[in-house]
């Protein structure tokens, strides 16, 4: 009896293995564009990820069911679990890069810094463009050296500059920055260190004092750091933490009596999940974001009507509708969709390949009128990409937590990208030299 | 005289115990022929990049740790730290020594890792068991910190990542998946061959004597401290080469975060599940740890994909994977390799039973 049971289990496992290697039963569809979703629903960052995937999937569903696809080209998607790691991210990428049942991949979103770094060279070899919104290599802004990397909208450099510009606005002008103290409390990792270069440059330019205070990973205990903040008495604190270290920072700041409305969180410290655990201490906290929270944008009305109210949403918790992470999913998906649309204008209304997707991204021009048409006015900044500029926007809004939701304080605060460009070009030139890459001539790309 | 000669053993024309003549390991040779000849032709990018390369590198890392933990009995949870040393050292050598060929850079990275391993092995003179494990834990965190803290190690890149400057051997570009696979396979085969001979040599036997009882080993004249440190160094050499391959042949880019404590545990699990004190066990364990989740993933995707919530499905796979680990360890605490050996012996006697 036991033996036969064991045998049948073994048989079932074998059959499973065999069936999994067979090609899928769905036949290749000629007019479909594959949209790979490298997601993380388990692991340490799952709680931030889940609303993002819901935003993406809801928008793709909306495009398919309400707009009939992108100019008639339907989107198909499949998920692959990355656990926010590089190796699973590579596995997913390799699984997806050749498309799904004949539907090709036009753009790929690695959704995770480790995977984005690991895939940079592979994607360039396979001619598949990577979109990394708010993370990834800053120097990839220089598209002549990184043709297939798109750190769109807001790199860490622009983020630093936008913060300084916002502070100048609050202080009453750039001349008032002289002698002010801006402390950066940062997660001591590659991500946290990225803003040191641009802040040093801006401090020199405007004459403010630049303090850098590291928090070791994971940042569960920050008394030492905030004691240091209290001693230095900075005018502003730029908070570049991530994950658990953000609510801990807000609570510890309150304990040491540093005013919370003088702390500006960065893009990865700007979600509902970052402030909710801090409770009352978070009331008044400022944060910088390229995709503000809120469910009152035009696209939300449409998605609510056609997807949410029809019970077709991927969202488990309806309260997350309009949260910062949900909106980031919408913006991410919209950029990909608009890039494919741009590519279709040149290559025809058909599914695009990766190289055609790159062309579409490099000729992407989402202006105010277009944002209005797709319902993203106010939620997304105008975005214009080109061969030498893979970032485009470079602006963020500042939002304030009122204890229950985010309130927008400003319109788009533009970064001073001209000042920082030489830093980026020096880094990309160093990368090109290290790798032996000859930069492409962007004038020939028009 | 005659009495004496009577008690002496009779002279033999041939030795009473004939040493087993070494047969050619046909199975192994066939496997190698397939791995070197057929796989690069047949395998597509997915198989090479996502399955075979990580499997081989993890096997090599398991082998490195097994020399220390399985053969010498020194538990270590700092494996990934030494991998990081290998990766960053190889990167530094390739970057700062112009014209250094890749094999030498890999060996150099391994040697630097061996040096670091030797230093962190010094406490093993005085402390044992769990206490030694804690010092290796310290090594893990210290090394991870060093490679984040000092930008010199990653050539002042803003993102703190390193990527292979050039992958070429004797003028052949190894950037293609096939090239990287062959590079990895060659390293793994060579180092495995060395390891097999090493554990059969006097060094290996001394290590095993120390593992089984270090007081007894000292009594029969084995310099215990020296051999422990040697084990740390050799193990770190293997881990260093594995780390460099992990960074450059597999990931392409790596940072200190690629070699965190989770990687150390993963390698420790590989040798526990595969089999401590076994060379082949590392390969079995690495296959189990790296390939089984993929198989589960495909099975889940094909059987339930679309009908079950995607998050639940992922968690379900984790649960099944965990249950399988527990089940195998209960069935055979000495690792999968012992299970396979039993199976082979049974098959050899089939249809008779034990």
In CATH terms, is domain B45-349 a member of 1.10.20?
Answer: no
pLDDT at A3 over 60: no
Candidates A42, A316, A434; nearest CB to B318: A42
The reported pLDDT for the residue numbered A2 is 47
Contact B160 A50 (CB under 8 A): no
The reported pLDDT for the residue numbered B170 is 80
The reported pLDDT for the residue numbered A84 is 87
Contact B294 A79 (CB under 8 A): no
User: Interface pTM (ipTM) of the complex?
Assistant: 0.86
The reported pLDDT for the residue numbered A304 is 95
Flag the least confident range among A61-75, A165-179, B9-23, B116-130.
B9-23
Contact A190 B148 (CB under 8 A): yes
For A117, nearest residue in chain B (alpha carbons): B253
In CATH terms, is domain A28-154+294-384 a member of 3.40.50.2300?
Answer: yes
Q: What is the CA radius of gyration of chain A?
A: 23
Looking at the complex, report in whole angstroms how far the Cα of residue A23 sits from the nearest Cα belonging to chain B.
10
Contact A17 B299 (CB under 8 A): yes
Candidates A21, A50, A430; nearest CB to B311: A50
pLDDT at A24 over 80: no
Looking at the complex, report in whole angstroms how far the Cα of residue A432 sits from the nearest Cα belonging to chain B.
10
The reported pLDDT for the residue numbered B65 is 97
pLDDT in tens, A289-326: 999 999 999 999 999 999 999 999 999 888 889 999 99
Partners of B88 on chain A (C-beta within 8 Å) are none
CATH of A156-289+413-419, one of 3.40.50.2300, 3.40.50.460, 3.30.70.20, 3.10.20.30: 3.40.50.2300
Contact B253 A117 (CB under 8 A): yes
pLDDT in tens, A98-134: 999 899 999 999 998 889 989 988 999 999 999 999 9
Contact B310 A79 (CB under 8 A): yes
CA distance A433 to A425: 12
For A430, nearest residue in chain B (alpha carbons): B157
Candidates B50, B159, B258; nearest CB to A95: B50
Candidates B46, B148, B303; nearest CB to A188: B148
pLDDT at A227 over 90: yes
The reported pLDDT for the residue numbered B185 is 96
The reported pLDDT for the residue numbered B287 is 95
Of A329 and B315, more confident:
A329
For chain B, list residues whose CB is within 8 angstroms of any CB belonging to chain A. 45-46, 49-51, 54, 95, 148-149, 155, 157-161, 163, 165-166, 175, 250-255, 257-258, 294-295, 297-299, 301-303, 305, 309-311, 314-315, 318
pLDDT at A17 over 50: no
**Chain mean position to CA B78:** 13
The reported pLDDT for the residue numbered B42 is 84
User: Mean pLDDT in each 10-residue stretch from start to end of chain B (354 residues)?
Assistant: 48 58 82 90 87 96 96 95 96 90 94 97 91 94 91 84 81 87 96 96 96 95 96 97 95 89 94 93 94 90 79 88 91 90 88 73
Of A287 and B2, more confident:
A287
Contact B302 A436 (CB under 8 A): no
Contact B50 A17 (CB under 8 A): no
Candidates B46, B149, B163; nearest CB to A121: B163
Contact A81 B302 (CB under 8 A): no
Cβ contacts of B323 within 8 Å, gap of 6 or more: none
Candidates A122, A138, A435; nearest CB to B158: A138
SS3 category, A262: helix
CA distance A127 to B275: 42
Partners of A24 on chain B (C-beta within 8 Å) are 302
Candidates B161, B163, B175; nearest CB to A190: B161
Mutation target among A44, A56, A81, A99 for the B interface, most CBs of B within 10 A: A81
The reported pLDDT for the residue numbered A444 is 79
Indicate the domain borders of chain A.
28-154+294-384, 156-289+413-419
Size of interface A-B (CB pairs under 8 A): 111
């Amino acid at each position: 009896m036991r033996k036969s049971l064991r045998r049948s289990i073994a048989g079932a496992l074998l059959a499973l293995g065999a069936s999994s290697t067979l090609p899928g039963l769905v036949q290749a569809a000629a007019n479909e564009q594959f949209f790979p979703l490298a997601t993380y629903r388990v692991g340490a960052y799952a709680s931030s990820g889940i609303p993002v995937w819901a935003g993406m999937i809801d928008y793709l569903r909306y495009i398919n069911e309400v707009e009939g696809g992108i100019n008639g080209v339907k989107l198909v998607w499949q998920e692959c679990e990355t656990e926010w790691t590089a190796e699973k991210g590579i596995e997913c990428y390799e699984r997806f890069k050749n498309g799904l049942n004949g539907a090709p991949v036009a753009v790929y979103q690695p959704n995770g810094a480790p995977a984005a770094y690991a895939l940079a060279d592979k994607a360039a070899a396979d001619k598949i463009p990577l979109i990394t919104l708010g993370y990834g290599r800053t120097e990839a802004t220089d598209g002549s050296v990184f043709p297939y990397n798109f750190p769109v909208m807001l790199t860490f450099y622009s983020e630093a500059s936008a913060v300084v510009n916002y502070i100048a606005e609050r202080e009453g002008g750039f001349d008032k920055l002289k002698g002010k103290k801006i402390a950066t409390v940062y997660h001591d990792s590659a991500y946290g260190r990225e803003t040191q270069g641009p802040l040093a440059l801006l401090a020199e330019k405007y004459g403010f004092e630049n303090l850098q205070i590291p928090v070791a990973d994971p940042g569960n205990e920050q008394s030492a750091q905030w004691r240091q903040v209290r001693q230095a008495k900075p005018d502003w604190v730029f908070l570049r933490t991530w994950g658990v270290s953000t609510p801990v920072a807000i609570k510890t700041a309150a304990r040491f009596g540093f005013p919370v409305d003088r702390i500006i969180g960065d893009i990865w410290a700007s979600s509902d999940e970052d402030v909710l655990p801090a409770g009352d201490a978070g009331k008044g906290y400022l944060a910088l974001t390229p995709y503000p929270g809120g469910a009152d944008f035009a696209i939300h009305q449409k998605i609510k009507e056609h997807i949410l109210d029809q019970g077709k949403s991927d969202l488990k918790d309806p309260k997350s509708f309009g949260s910062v992470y949900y909106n980031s999913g919408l913006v991410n998906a919209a950029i990909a969709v608009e890039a494919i649309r741009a590519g279709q204008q040149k290559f025809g209304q058909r599914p695009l390949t990766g190289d055609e997707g790159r062309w579409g991204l490099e000729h992407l021009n989402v202006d105010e009128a277009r944002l209005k048409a797709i319902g993203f006015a106010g939620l997304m900044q105008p975005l214009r990409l080109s061969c030498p500029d893979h970032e485009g926007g470079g602006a963020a809004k500042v939002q304030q937590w009122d204890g229950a939701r985010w309130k927008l304080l400003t319109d788009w605060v533009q970064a001073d990208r001209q000042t920082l460009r030489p830093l980026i070009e020096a880094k990309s030139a160093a990368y090109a030299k290290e790798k032996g890459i000859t930069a492409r001539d962007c004038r020939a790309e028009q | 005289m005659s009495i004496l000669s009577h008690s002496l053993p009779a002279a033999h024309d041939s030795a009473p115990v004939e040493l087993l003549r070494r047969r050619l390991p046909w199975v192994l040779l066939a496997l190698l022929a397939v791995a070197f000849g057929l796989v690069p032709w047949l395998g597509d990018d997915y198989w090479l990049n996502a399955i075979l390369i990580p499997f081989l590198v993890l096997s090599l890392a398991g082998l490195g740790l097994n020399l220390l933990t399985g053969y010498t009995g020194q538990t270590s949870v700092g494996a990934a730290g030494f991998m990081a040393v290998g990766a960053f050292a190889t990167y530094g050598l390739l970057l700062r020594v112009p014209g250094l060929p890749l094999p030498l850079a890999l060996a150099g990275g391994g040697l630097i890792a061996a040096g670091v391993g030797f230093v962190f092995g010094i406490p093993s003179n005085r402390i044992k068991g769990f206490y030694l494990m804690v010092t290796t834990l310290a090594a893990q965190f210290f090394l991870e910190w060093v490679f984040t803290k000092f930008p010199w190690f990653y050539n002042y890149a803003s993102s703190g990542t390193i990527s292979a400057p050039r992958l070429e051997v004797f003028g052949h570009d190894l950037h293609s998946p096939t090239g990287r696979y062959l590079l990895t396979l060659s390293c793994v085969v060579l180092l495995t061959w060395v390891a097999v001979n090493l554990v059969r040599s006097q060094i290996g036997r001394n290590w095993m004597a120390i593992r089984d009882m270090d007081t007894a080993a000292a009594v029969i004249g084995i310099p215990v401290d020296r051999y422990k440190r040697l084990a740390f160094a050799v193990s770190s050499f293997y881990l260093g080469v594995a780390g460099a391959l992990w960074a450059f042949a597999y990931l392409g880019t790596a940072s200190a975060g690629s070699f965190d404590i989770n990687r150390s545990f993963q390698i420790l699990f590989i040798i526990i599940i595969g089999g401590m004190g076994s060379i082949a066990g590392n390969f079995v364990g690495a296959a189990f740890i790296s390939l089984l989740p993929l198989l589960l993933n495909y099975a889940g995707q094909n059987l339930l994909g679309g009908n079950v919530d995607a998050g639940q499905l992922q968690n379900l796979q984790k649960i099944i994977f965990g249950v399988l680990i527990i089940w195998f360890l209960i069935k055979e605490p000495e690792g999968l390799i012992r299970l396979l050996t039993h199976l082979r012996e049974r098959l050899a006697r089939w249809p008779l039973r034990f």
